[in-house]
Amino acid sequence: MALLNNAMAIMMVVLGLGFVIFIHELGHFLLAKWNGVKVEKFAIGFDVFNLRLWSKTIGETTYVLGALPLGGYVKMLGEEPSEVGETAGDPRAYHNRPVGARMAIISAGVVMNLLFGLACFTYVYLRGKPEMPPVVGAVIAGMPAYDAGLQPGDRVVRVDGRPIQTYSELQQAMIFSGKDQQLRVELERPGQAQPIAVTLSPRLRPGALGPTIGIGPSFGLEIAPKSSFLEPAGFTGDSAALEKSIGEGGRVTAAGVEGQPLQPIETKPQLDQLLAVHADRPITLDVRDSGTPAAKAATAKARQITLPAIPMVDLGAVMTTGPIIGIRPGSVAAEAGLKVGDRITAVDGATDVDPLRLPDLAFRKGDAGEAIALTIERPGPADSAPPELLQITLQPDAEPSGTQSTYPDEALELPALGLALTVEPKISAVRPDSPAARAGLKPGDVVRFVELTEPAAPAADADDKAATPSILRLVLDGKRTNRQDELATWPGAFELIQSLPLHEITLTLVDGPQPVRLTPEPVEGWFNARRGLRFLIQMQPLPPQNLGSALGRAWKDTVDNVMSVYYMLRGLIQQTLPGESVGGPIKIADWAYSTARLGLDAFIPFLGMLSINLAVVNFLPIPPLDGGQLLFLICEKIRGRPIPERLAGPVMIAGLLFILMLFVVVNLNDVMSYFGPGR
């Protein structure tokens, strides 16, 4: 079955990409015929050195399927400068047609691609589709959204006055922002009647493909069906029995501590809060069929799932607490006068506190109404000045940690204090009789790589074979050596260790003689709030639209896709977008294949986007692209005669060399991103 699905996806890619090229060349062909120009050849693919998969002459035109599948072309009589003299008296020669007719012929390919993109998007809206709402699901510690005080559950409604309807529109507004651009973001917050407006400047995270404000999509209360329980490292129960009770998933409607009355659950943040506050106790979930209508949800048959308390696991290596990199406005830390750059050196007088335990420690203090005393090292006013030591006592909020997943490259957040800090991968202490101590780790060791084993994906059906487990290598020093490496921080790596089944991990030290292998062990009194349960990303259904509404939405998507190409070019010039965000033929084929495997409803809008991108790029004023040809014709219209060959020739050659150079660069970029060392 998998082989058949892969073959179908490959066939969709070949036909789909071929059709996008065909549509473009068909525009040139039809307008040439309409204007009385003789078309000598219509080619899909290039037939360099006469290498053809198929050709047939019908009437005056030879139709060709070239062996080099990188585009296509329409060859018209008198199109080449060398043919001008030979066809001077032929009214069907391209160069003998009026300038307006030639402009129409040159522009027709781009117009056809735009119309095809519009048709693809219209098809999607006529069928209806699920959309991801622009709701904040996670706020990345230390990023602009964190510093501005955004919270999970916030719904973005406008960016710079433009309405935002989906999460992809929100992402696009961030990715294609200009260098140092300040965006006015308007959002609605549950429980507040008036909208909130904040000003944010997106920035590029290492390894990301575009600027971001540092948020993640929201998850709903729908439990992922089948294999939805990913056994956390500290889990010691019967995972098969728990997964069986989860069954086909469903929607969580109520939850509570085992043995106590359940309370209604309406949002994912509400459930996260309950799981974190009672992380040390079993929690019972009331789960109902996802297909149950809302009106019947209260009376629908429910099943209850009990999630046990799951301890955290640890290596016994205490890492070095780094400086504070973010402080939430209005937080305990902000009111106490803490600043970005401050470093916590002691907690309640103890200098050996593990920074990863600080979020839970601060919450427990806040929940008990107790204060926490911090010793702060603040950088001096000048580089040569000694740091200033401060003693600050704070009253933490009862805000639990572990309510949202940590991204691999994220800093450490202390929600109860409202600050985020870095954790350096340098060992400051090793606990006696811990896995780290038994493995020979010592203070001063610096971890560069963390290697984890990811569980194999289950087989899709009985005919398929399950994938083999894979090794995930996390890079803590920001220097990838291959494409598979993932940039990470120590808190991000620690989070992944918790979320995967307990197994031996490998640490590679800077200047270490050889990798160190060790197995984490459970920690008494410290619990995993998320407990391995996986939820589906929140979606909002968009029902099938009538033709007028579908065309309106499709037109908006078409304009957005046109503008995104220019925004991307601006981002590359301003270096707000990395080179990896641009794809050549290899990446395009990979993206097309990945989308085709999701089905026709996903592949058709991809083709629409690709067709529009082809149109915009082809219309750039660079010879020999269509836009460059049009530029020559505009100059001819203004001058009343063609551009002299002595000027047009060198410009055409320069443009061709630029296109060839760009082609080589994007293909090398593709090859390096897939097969070369990481950057």
**Which residue numbers are catalytic?**
25
**DSSP three-state, residue 13:** helix
Read off φ and ψ for residue 147, nearest 5 degrees: -65, -25
Residues 143 and 205: their CA atoms lie apart, in Å, by 9
Packing angle of the helix pair 2-34, 600-618 (nearest 10 deg): 40
Nearest to 500 by CA among 668, 252, 313, 666: 313
Residues 161 and 186: their CA atoms lie apart, in Å, by 8
Q: Residue 218: which residues within 8 A CB-CB, separation 6 or more?
A: 133, 135, 136, 137, 152, 153, 268, 537, 538
Report the greatest alpha carbon distance in the chain: 97
Q: Which two tokens stand for residue 80?
A: 């080449």
User: Please, is 419 exposed, middle or buried when counting C-beta atoms within 10 Å of its C-beta (0-12, 13-18, 19+)?
Assistant: buried
Nearest to 344 by CA among 377, 379, 380, 389: 377
Angle at CA of residue 111, ends 573 and 107, nearest 5° = 80
Alpha-carbon distance values, 160 to 183, 186, 553, 569 (Å): 6, 8, 20, 21
Residues 156 and 166: their CA atoms lie apart, in Å, by 9
Read off φ and ψ for residue 198, nearest 5 degrees: -130, 155
Residues 367 and 362: their CA atoms lie apart, in Å, by 9
Cis omega (within 30 of 0) for bond into 311: no
Residues 635 and 654: their CA atoms lie apart, in Å, by 18
Residues 418 and 330: their CA atoms lie apart, in Å, by 8
Nearest to 254 by CA among 229, 216, 287: 287
Nearest to 363 by CA among 253, 466, 278, 462: 278
Packing angle of the helix pair 167-175, 547-574 (nearest 10 deg): 30
Separation of CA 643 from chain center: 46
Nearest to 496 by CA among 465, 463, 520: 520
Residues 362 and 368: their CA atoms lie apart, in Å, by 10
Separation of CA 616 from chain center: 23
Nearest to 165 by CA among 115, 208, 127, 129: 129
The DSSP secondary-structure symbol of 487 reads E
Residues 608 and 234: their CA atoms lie apart, in Å, by 47
DSSP 84-108: TTTTTT-TTSGGGS-HHHHHHHHHH
Nearest to 199 by CA among 237, 172, 164, 159: 159
Q: Which two tokens stand for residue 181?
A: 């651009």
Residues 320 and 515: their CA atoms lie apart, in Å, by 21
Q: Are 421 and 321 in contact (CB under 8 A)?
A: yes
